Amino acid sequence: MKKYTVTPSPHLRSGASTTRIMFHVILATVPAMAASAVFFGWRALMLIGFCAVSAMVWERLCNLLMKRPDSTNDLSSLVTGILLAFNLPATLPLWCAAIGTFVAIVITKQLFGGIGQNFANPAIVGRIVLMLSFTGRMTDWMIPNGVDAVSSATPLVTGDVSYFDLFIGRCGGCLGETSAAALLLGGIYLVAVKVITPHAPLAFIGTVYALSAITGRDPIYQILSGGLMLGAIFMATDYVTTPSTKMGRAIFGMGCGMITCVIRFWCSAPEGVSYSILLMNIVTPYIDMLCRKRAVGGIYRREKKEAQK
């Protein structure tokens, strides 16, 4: 008898795929890449390229070592590499960057089971490890458009950069985080193609704005400087390490905003975006538990007991 393909329903699938989502994210990082090239020069682009390639190499090596199927084609490691590069100063030596991508891909992601299984954002962990290990090199900000390797401080510390320079990104900082305009453009693109929902970024940025205003600091300066835009748009919206409901994402964003402000205002560290996201990554399962959706027409145990009374 002739054989037919018998599969469970549905017999129709949408065109969405993990690879396509990651491709959209990569497209959304292009404006920020361009801005980094403009302000920090060719070295920035080279660092981004190096991080992207080394992340994919680590991923492939892990696949081979762990005898897992090739997962480089889902492009998620490429995204991690680019985002990690965005968190590095343009002057960072390549071997440091390689350590960063190793921590991100091998330790944070693959050792926990690969895509979808990691509890913390790989790029954030990579950055934090580099920051703690090579504090000097990691804060060796270059003055944009100036002579190579002239050290300066981040505008979060100096506090003397104009709003316009902060907005377009003409200030010291990590290579991908300075240009709020380019990052916003990417964020709007991601919302438009429905890759992310705006809940977490809006809650994050809104909370920082509100807390800065309440504590008498300049709110616009706070939201435009440091890694806030990068963190809110690209890191706090990572699917794997943030809650999966809209409500949960809003709570996640608010939590990130609060921790960021506490670190920025009252701790010795100048910047708190990465720590805040890492800390909120850890509580994500609890937020998810808290925001579990109620089924339409579902009767839950407590209500049943009340009904029996």
Instruction: Give contact residues for another protein (rule: CB under 8 A).
Output: 1, 4-14, 16-21, 71, 73-74, 76, 113-117, 239-240, 244-246, 292-299
SS3 152: strand
> Least distance in Å: CB of 8 to another protein?
4
Residue 104 Cβ vs another protein, minimum distance, rounded to whole Å:
17
Which is nearest to 176 in space by CA: 132, 223, 226? 226
Closest CA to 235 of 187, 191, 193, 269: 187
Assess contact for 242 and 200: CB atoms under 8 A: yes
The residue type found at 110 is Q
Give me the least distance between CB of 246 and another protein, in Å please. Answer: 8
Taking alpha carbons only, the member of 84, 49, 56 closest to residue 72 is 56
Sorted by sequence, the CB contacts under 8 Å of residue 96 that are 6+ apart come out as 88, 130, 134, 137, 138
Closer residue to another protein (CB): 262 or 283? 283
| Residue with tokens 């050792």, as numbered in its chain | 111
Q: Which residues pair with 152 in a beta bridge?
A: 141
Question: Is 136 or 298 the residue whose CB approaches another protein more closely?
Answer: 298
Q: Given the complex with another protein, which of 54 and 71 has the nearer CB atom?
A: 71
CB closer to another protein out of 12 and 147: 12
Least gap, CB of 275 to another protein (angstroms): 22
Q: Residue 197 Cβ, how far from another protein at the closest point, in Å?
A: 8
Rg (CA), the chain: 21
- Smallest separation, CB 61 to another protein (Å): 19
In whole angstroms, the minimum distance from the beta carbon of 271 to another protein comes to 27
Can you read off the two tokens belonging to residue 252? 């996640």
Q: At what angle do helices 42-66 and 76-86 cross, to 10 degrees?
A: 140
* Identity of the residue, 18 or 152, whose beta carbon is nearer to another protein in the bound complex: 18
Residue nearer to another protein on the CB measure, 294 or 305: 294
CB neighbours of residue 153 within 10 Å: 14
> 199 exposed, middle or buried (CB, 10 Å; 0-12, 13-18, 19+)?
buried
Query: Cβ 74 to another protein, closest distance in Å?
Result: 5
CA–CA gap between residue 26 and residue 67 (Å, rounded): 27
Give the list of residues 6+ apart from residue 77 with CB closer than 8 angstroms, or none.
55, 56, 58, 59, 71, 105, 109
